[in-house]
Amino acid sequence: MGWPLKLVQPESSSQPRIPFAKAEISAEAQAASARVLASGWITTGPEVVEFERDFAALVGAEHAIAVSSCTAAIEIALRALRLPRGAKVLTSVMTFCGAVHAIVHAGLEPVLVDINAGTLMPDADTVADAVRRVGPVDAMVVIHFAGFPAPVEEMAAAAGLPLSRVVEDAAHAVGTKVGTDWVGTLSAATCFSFYATKNLPIGEGGMITTDDSDVAAYARQVRIHGMSHDAWKRYLPGAGWRYGVEVAGIKANMTDVQAAIGRGQLQHFLDWQDRRQGLAEAFDRRLSRIAGLTGPQWPDQGLHAWHLYVVQVMPEFGIGRDEFISRLAERGVDCSVHFIPLHHQPYFEQLLATQAPQSFPVADAVFPRIVSLPFYPGLTDDMVDRLWEEIDGLRESAAREPRLAQLRVTA
């Protein structure tokens, strides 16, 4: 996972960098992966079956189907809805590109929706507004941005869809509750990510959860070449060699090495979530003392999984977002941005050009202000102090600069 990490050391700081992300792999996960690697069975097998059982129990779902990524999970979940080719699927304009590629690769047409400026994801109003403009849609992918609980039912109603036509992108939402329910059973299928930076990191991996046994059976088949049930067992001692191919599958199964890591990680998951909650409270306290920074919204009900802590750099801060990020990097703190609105990307721009005209005024207004701060359970209290001292320092120097510039002009 090279891309989010910058390896340059600043000349100015003698203190260690605070990276944007740091995957914590528990001792149990490390031992379990070593055990599987030595076992002679390293691809999909009994560990995957156990991990699926553990994960289904965590979110309270009937079925969990492990796959290679959340992107693959979304594509498979959408295919399980068996919509006609080119059917319209509503989703956020402010999401990860992979989530929309999944719609395209499922043979469907993405319809992008603007966001709420507070939660940075679509809400019932933006969804209803989009449907008024582009006409009825056939399905929707709901994102729980940063781990904030999206009101899935309300949004489905706003889109004029039954919940059986809704798929959730829960890449940020292992540990989110909508009301009192864990995210995982609220729609036709929920798609999770175990990517290196996510709340339950494996490195790569994904999971589909559902209470619908047809969706589950279809997903189990599609994830491994469309082969008949339990195809992975065909190389076990004494197993038969024959299999059937019943649908056009893809290669998106999870390996036993990944599943073993996932099971080891699950033992720490709730502690990590507690730490994230504590960090969010600490960040809020520090942020409230700094002019020109707006913090993330807290939900009125349910539980935020705090995958990301996104702040908005307002004009009163004195410098813009890009400078905020580059100057903080000079001070040894690495940030990121979630997400570049998709209509700013050439591929999606071309796609939008073929559709009824749409605009995304909120995403456009908010994008130049958003910054994701380093935020993970391994962030120590000392690192939190240091991070906010650097932001304080940045704010002080930004506040001094207009006066300095004036002095230079009048001198």
Q: Give me the residues that bind ligand PLP (CB under 6 A), please.
A: 69-71, 95-96, 98-99, 143, 169, 171-172, 193, 195, 206
Beta partners for residue 140, in sequence order: 90, 166
Other C-beta atoms lying within 10 Å of the C-beta of residue 160: 13
- Return d(Cα 199, Cα 377) in angstroms, integer: 9
Of the candidates 108, 123, 42, the one whose C-alpha atom is nearest the C-alpha of residue 75 is 108
Of the candidates 153, 107, 106, 104, the one whose C-alpha atom is nearest the C-alpha of residue 127 is 153
375: left (phi over 0), alpha (psi -120 to 50) or beta: beta
- Return d(Cα 279, Cα 18) in angstroms, integer: 15
Of the candidates 14, 282, 279, the one whose C-alpha atom is nearest the C-alpha of residue 147 is 279
Question: In the complex, what is the shortest distance from the CB of residue 100 to ligand PLP, in angstroms, rounded to a whole number?
Answer: 9
Q: Which of 6, 22, 198, 251 is catalytic?
A: 198
Question: In the complex, what is the shortest distance from the CB of residue 196 to ligand PLP, in angstroms, rounded to a whole number?
Answer: 9
Q: Which is nearer to ligand PLP, 72 or 383 (CB)?
A: 72
235: left (phi over 0), alpha (psi -120 to 50) or beta: alpha
Question: In the complex, what is the shortest distance from the CB of residue 97 to ligand PLP, in angstroms, rounded to a whole number?
Answer: 9
Annotation marks residue 177 as catalytic:
no
Give the E-state strand segments of 248-390 in sequence order: 293-294, 310-313, 370-372
Of the candidates 145, 139, 97, the one whose C-alpha atom is nearest the C-alpha of residue 122 is 145
- Return d(Cα 269, Cα 267) in angstroms, integer: 6
Q: Which is nearer to ligand PLP, 44 or 193 (CB)?
A: 193
Q: For residue 293, what is the enclosing H or E element?
A: strand 293-294
Q: Are 152 and 121 in contact (CB under 8 A)?
A: no
Other C-beta atoms lying within 10 Å of the C-beta of residue 31: 12
Q: In this structure, what token pair is assigned to residue 277?
A: 């909650």
Q: Which is nearer to ligand PLP, 96 or 388 (CB)?
A: 96
φ, ψ of residue 310 in degrees (nearest 5): -105, 125
- First-to-last CA distance in the chain? 50
Unique residue bearing structure tokens 């191919």: 245
Q: Which is nearer to ligand PLP, 97 or 399 (CB)?
A: 97
Question: In the complex, what is the shortest distance from the CB of residue 87 to ligand PLP, in angstroms, rounded to a whole number?
Answer: 20
Q: Which is nearer to ligand PLP, 3 or 241 (CB)?
A: 3
Q: Which is nearer to ligand PLP, 195 or 348 (CB)?
A: 195
β 310-313/370-372 pair status: antiparallel
Beta partners for residue 181, in sequence order: 178
Q: Which is nearer to ligand PLP, 252 or 383 (CB)?
A: 252
Q: Any idea which residues carry the catalytic annotation?
A: 198
